[in-house]
Amino acid sequence: MKAMKAGMMKNNDDNSTDYISLFQAADLWLMRVDFVFEYPRPTMPNVVYIGGFQCKPAKPLPEHLEEFVQSSGEHGVIIMSLGTFIAELPQDLADQIAAAFAKMPQKVIWRYKGAKPATLGNNTLLVDWMPQNDLLGHPKTKLFVAHGGTNGVQEALYHGVPIIGLPLIYDQNDNINRLEVRGAGKVLDFYTMTEEIFSLGIQEVLNDPSYRMNMQRLSRLHRDAPMKPMDSALFWIEFVMRHKGAAHLRTESYRLPWYSYHSVDVMLPPGRIDSIRT
C-alpha cells in the first residue's frame, strides 16, 4: 500500500524465516492514510491510520516573506513547489509558467532552483526553500501549485488550501486525482501544458469558490478526530512495547498456504487438492 509508513516486528533470530513472512507478521502498521482522502475499505485491528501526522498549525513567517505576503493586498498569494526531486524545469516550460504568473494579480512564491525565467514578473518571488506548512497556513494563501506528493497534499488538506496539481512520478497523479474527484483541486498535464492552459487552470480554481469550500470541508473532517495522528501513533507504539507485541490484533492468515487462503481447498475435490499440496 503506497501510504504505508511503518510496521513494528518482533525480534526473530531464525535465519530460515524469509523477509515476506517477517513483513506480514508485523504486530502494528502505521499507515499514512486518512479516509477523508482515501476511499473506504475493510481494515484490520492492528492497522493504525495516521494520515497528516506531520501537519501542524502555521508558525509566523520570516520577516521578508511576511512583508512580501502582506504586499499582496486583497488578491492574496499563490505558492508553488514541485518538491525536492524536481528542482528545475525545461527552460521553455519555466518561461511559460512564469509568464502566466506575471499576468496574475496575486503575488507568487515559487520554490525554484533553475535558471531565472526570462518572463519572470515583478509579482513572483523565486526561493531556494520555503516554509511550506507555514505558508499554507497563512490566511492570504489562496492556491497551492504542487506536484502532488503525499506531504504537500496532506498539508494543503490540513490548512484547507485548494491545489493545482502537476503530477509526474510515483503516487502524485493518484493523489491529485483524489482531490479533483472531491472538487478540491485540478490536475494539469505537464506534457501538454502551455501558458494559456496553466493560466486558465489557476483562474478556474481561484475564481470558482467551490474549490476552496470543498477543500475547507475536507480540512474540517480531517481535524475533527478524538486524537491527533501523532498522538495515536505514539500510543500504539508504546502499547506494543508495554505488552511485548500485539499478536491478539494480528491476523494469522499469512500462515495459510495460498490454496487455503483463497479457499481453493473448499472448491476442489479432495484428490485434486492433494495434488496441489504436493
What does the chain come to in residues?
Answer: 278
**Is position 158 within any domain?**
yes
Residue type, position 121, single letter: G
The answer on 140 and 49 residing in a single domain is no
SS3 26: coil
Residue matched to cell numbers 472531491: 182
Number of domains in the chain: 2
**Is position 275 within any domain?**
no
Kindly provide the b/e burial profile for residues 6-36, where b requires at least 16 CB atoms within 10 angstroms of the residue's own CB.
ebbeeeeeeeeeeeeeeebbbbbbbbbbbeb
The answer on 92 and 49 residing in a single domain is no
| pLDDT given for residue 7 in this prediction | 45
**Is position 150 within any domain?**
yes
What is the distance between the alpha carbons of residues 168 and 174, in angstroms, rounded to a whole number? 10
Cell representation of residue 49:
491510520
Cell representation of residue 2:
503506497
| pLDDT given for residue 2 in this prediction | 43
Residue type, position 22, single letter: L
Cell representation of residue 52:
497528516
The answer on 191 and 89 residing in a single domain is yes
Cell representation of residue 17:
524465516
The answer on 87 and 210 residing in a single domain is yes
Cell representation of residue 4:
504505508
Contact predicate 164/200, CB 8 Å? no
**Is position 34 within any domain?**
yes
Contact predicate 47/33, CB 8 Å? no
| pLDDT given for residue 276 in this prediction | 67
Mean pLDDT by groups of 10 residues along the chain of 278 residues: 42 61 85 92 93 95 97 97 86 96 97 95 96 97 96 96 94 94 95 95 97 98 95 96 93 84 80 66
**Is position 132 within any domain?**
yes
* Domain of residue 173, CATH code: 3.40.50.2000
Domain containing 108 equals: 63-223
Stated pTM of the model: 0.86
The answer on 140 and 85 residing in a single domain is yes
